[in-house]
Amino acid sequence: MKSVISWNVNGIRAAEKKGFLDWLALESPDILCLQETKAHKGQLNPELVNPVLSDGTQYLSWWSSAKKAGYSGTALYSKTEPVNIIPFGYPEFDDEGRVVMAEFPEAVVISAYFPNSQEAGARLGYKLDFCAAMLETCNRLVASGKHIILCGDYNIAHKPIDLANPKTNEGNPGYLPQERAWMDEFTGAGYVDTFRAFCSEPHQYTWWSYRFRAREKNIGWRIDYTCVDPAFMPFVTTSTILKDVQGSDHCPVKLTYEN
């Protein structure tokens, strides 16, 4: 059994101060995908770049950082060397460090930080272009005979069940009709929202505002996902939200699969 965890840490250096390495040692995933790292690899302590577990296992890591300091960014940690690191290959998104893709024997694991469409849809066009590029990339990988595990902060609540107040958020970024329509297109192409494959219950969220004690009241959004191609889904054994993990306004999501 292998485990993949995805987590928007809202700043890797901030997360480090909040016990990130202790959590990593305790959880010990085979692969960890991070989003919104807000740092370049050279700014980090060596023990954060290549953490070592108590059993001597050392993580390898790959980073995609934004040109703009302290903004966006993704990373991927692994206990084993991947077959290949695949470039995303879209300069307008690579400039913001939006994607890290690593090919393993079983699947290509993607750590993706989807853009926020922002107030009044100020970046909606950029967001939808990213979504289209990601779907094209997944389709290309699957057509070449590979499986995909698309992990990350999609910045989209797909359906009313995926946020606490759907009616009052219909015009807000992350729940715009165009964003939800892309999720319909993505899942309509066969890709599986693994969490919903195992859990159909409401009130399951991965992000909460820091304001109004939203997390304490569980007034949240489910915008972090681990999605797979349909042929890989039979190998997935669990897909869960680690709602009790602190250290960010997001919590991690975890997928396990048969090796």
Q: Containing domain of residue 194, as a range?
A: 2-257
153 is catalytic: yes
**pTM for the model:** 0.98
- Per-residue confidence at 128, pLDDT binned at 50, 70, 90? very high
Q: Which two tokens stand for residue 117?
A: 């469409």
- Judged against a pLDDT cut of 90, whether residue 184 lies above it is answered with yes
The per-residue pLDDT for range 90-101, each reduced to its tens digit, is: 999 999 999 999
| Among 153, 193, 224, 229, the one annotated catalytic | 153
Question: Considering only CA atoms, which of 27, 236, 47 is closest in space to residue 150?
Answer: 236
- Judged against a pLDDT cut of 90, whether residue 227 lies above it is answered with yes
Average pLDDT, the chain: 97
**pLDDT at res. 38:** 98
Average pLDDT over residues 74-86: 98
The separation between the first and the last C-alpha atoms of the chain, rounded to the nearest angstrom, is 5
The per-residue pLDDT for range 187-217, each reduced to its tens digit, is: 999 999 999 999 999 999 999 999 999 999 9
What CATH number does the domain containing 181 carry? Answer: 3.60.10.10
- Per-residue confidence at 259, pLDDT binned at 50, 70, 90? confident
Work out how many domains the chain is built from and give that number.
1
